Amino acid sequence: MRYRAQFPFPPAPKGFRDEDFFYYFDGNNTLALAQPIPALDAIRNIALPLHRDAPFIWRGTKILSDQPALGVEFRTPDGELMSDDVQPLYQSFFPGGFAIVGMLPVANEPGIECPLGAVIQLDLANLSAAPIVDQHTAVLLMGVKRWRIQL
Amino acid sequence: MDYVWSLPTLQPAEPLVAPFQFDPDAAFELRGLAARIPYDAQGTQTALAGVSLRWSGPTQDYRQQQRVPIGLMTGAYFGQYGNPMPVFPGVRFPANGITWVDVVNNGAAPLVGLQLFMRGVKLGYPGQWMTYPYPAKMRTIPYAYPFSVPQLGVTEARLNQVFRVKSNGDFVFRAGQAGRAFAPATWEVFLTLRDADSKPYSNAPVHVDVLFGQSIGRAAYPVGNAGLVLPPTGPGASAPGLIYPEIYLPADHLMLYDIARNDAAYQGAVADFPINFIGSKVVVA
């Protein structure tokens, strides 16, 4: 199962074709995803930059972490928050049963159109009264790149 | 609408045949089933595997020729974690309609606190309760309202708590998640959702693991008859407890809820209790 969308995603508009594409971020390419977070504190505005070659339609998300107290909040490329506050990771982007059925993504309905070179911003928060000292968060943004058909 | 049916203690091997009457204000279409018992000290519901039952339509027309082990009938996690066993096509009960259950406890010990959950929709007449349409021209964005019930006591009930949609857009409530994933743990927490007029979406409080669930819960469920116990596999954030049909809440509108916790039998502590209402923000274009 790639996405568990409640409604089918529309096909690419006339003159374009969609191509599956994933963006992956972890502590190797985004240092903030491996930084300690003090108790009840947060790391704000972590930039997740996208490519400049084609627009990206963001349709699904997986976040892998072994920190049950982690909270997350996304901001779309146009700066709009996608939640009213930080969401507990285990209630938002970390699916259950990952060891047996794999990690099922959480769908964006509708998909979010990200223009060339867009930046998605992420906040990470520690929701517990104990510090997170060994954070290794991995973020997978799933979707399609929308290419113009060359005539 | 969820109808909660709390059954009396079932003695071993002693069948119970009992009726349940639906509300008088509207017909009800049954679309899903779930069952649960309170968690034991290990955080499981192992004794639930010993329950067999059959249930009837509105004319005491049983839909199984004999009692079926409930794990076979409802599937994984007994229809909990926001994933009830689908009843399709739906079974319609008139206002004041009655369903019957024929249930037996095949376990060795008395079974206390068995609840059946009949999930579906009330079929009211136009105007019987407030409903709101989408704007003629609008755009939507995936949106969530995470909030926390602060410092919920080990045994405490709070009535008429207020959830308010922000003024910068309408909110379509489509799914939910609830529960703590880190210490201190909570076990028996129940929600009653209500609309702004205090009309409830259930006839009694519904356990949060039946209504919503979450990705990493405290729970583990028996599988088959071999004593195998597994954590929930597959539900959670990617398959949350769906609100269907969705509930449309215009900007600045309220939703009320009662929350109750009864963890006296567990080693609990006062805790903030997180709930996440998931759906879409709707903005007039």
Cβ neighbours of residue B59 under 8 Å, at least 6 residues apart?
Answer: none
CB proximity A134 to B under 8 Å: no
Contact between A82 and B223 under an 8 Å Cβ cutoff? The reply is: no
Name the residue among A68, A97, A109 with its Cβ closest to that of B233.
Answer: A97
Name the residue among B141, B147, B214 with its Cβ closest to that of A90.
Answer: B214
Q: Name the range with the highest mean pLDDT among B52-61, B70-79, B208-217, B221-230.
A: B52-61
Between CA A126 and CA A39 the distance in angstroms is 6
Contact between B255 and B195 under an 8 Å Cβ cutoff? The reply is: yes
**B2-123 has which fold?**
Jelly Rolls (2.60.120)
Give the pLDDT band of residue B266 (cuts 50, 70, 90). confident
How many helices, marked H, and strands, marked E, lie in chain A? Answer: 1, 8
* CA A127 and chain centroid, separation: 19
User: Which pLDDT belongs to residue A2?
Assistant: 44
H-helix or E-strand containing B154? Answer: none
Judged by CB atoms closer than 8 Å, whether chains meet at A95 and B216 is answered as: no
pLDDT digit string (tens) for B268-280? Answer: 899 999 999 999 9
pLDDT at B228 > cutoff 80: no
Q: By C-alpha distance, which of B275, B259, B261, B258 is closest to B148?
A: B275
Please name each of the domains of chain A with its CATH number.
16-146 (2.60.120)
Beta bridge partners of A126: A70
Between CA B139 and CA B148 the distance in angstroms is 28
User: Which pLDDT belongs to residue A19?
Assistant: 94
- Per the rule left: phi > 0, alpha: psi between -120 and 50, beta: everything else, A97 is left
Architecture of domain B138-284: Sandwich (2.60)
Judged by CB atoms closer than 8 Å, whether chains meet at A83 and B143 is answered as: yes
H-helix or E-strand containing B74? Answer: helix B70-74
pLDDT at B282 > cutoff 60: yes
pLDDT digit string (tens) for B82-121? Answer: 889 999 999 999 999 999 999 999 999 999 999 999 999 9
pLDDT at A110 > cutoff 90: no
Tell me the nearest-neighbour CA distance from A32 into chain B, angstroms. 23
Mean pLDDT of B14-31: 96
Judged by CB atoms closer than 8 Å, whether chains meet at B231 and A76 is answered as: no
pLDDT at A7 > cutoff 70: no
pLDDT at B226 > cutoff 60: no
Say how many C-beta atoms besides its own lie within 10 A of residue B38's C-beta.
16
Give the pLDDT band of residue A135 (cuts 50, 70, 90). confident
Mean pLDDT of B46-51: 89
User: Which pLDDT belongs to residue A115?
Assistant: 97
CA angle A17, A22, A27 (to 5 degrees): 155
CB proximity A33 to B under 8 Å: no
User: Which pLDDT belongs to residue A3?
Assistant: 45
- What is the average pLDDT value for chain B, to the nearest integer? 91
pLDDT digit string (tens) for B171-192? Answer: 999 999 998 888 888 999 999 9
Portions of chain B given CATH number 2.60.120: 2-123, 138-284
Cβ neighbours of residue B267 under 8 Å, at least 6 residues apart?
Answer: none
pLDDT at B43 > cutoff 60: yes
Contact between B94 and B27 under an 8 Å Cβ cutoff? The reply is: yes
pLDDT at A82 > cutoff 60: yes
pTM for the predicted model, two decimal places: 0.91
More confident residue, B267 or A114: A114
Phi, psi dihedral angles at A142 (to 5 degrees): -110, 145
pLDDT at B42 > cutoff 90: no
Judged by CB atoms closer than 8 Å, whether chains meet at A91 and B81 is answered as: no
Mean pLDDT of B256-274: 92
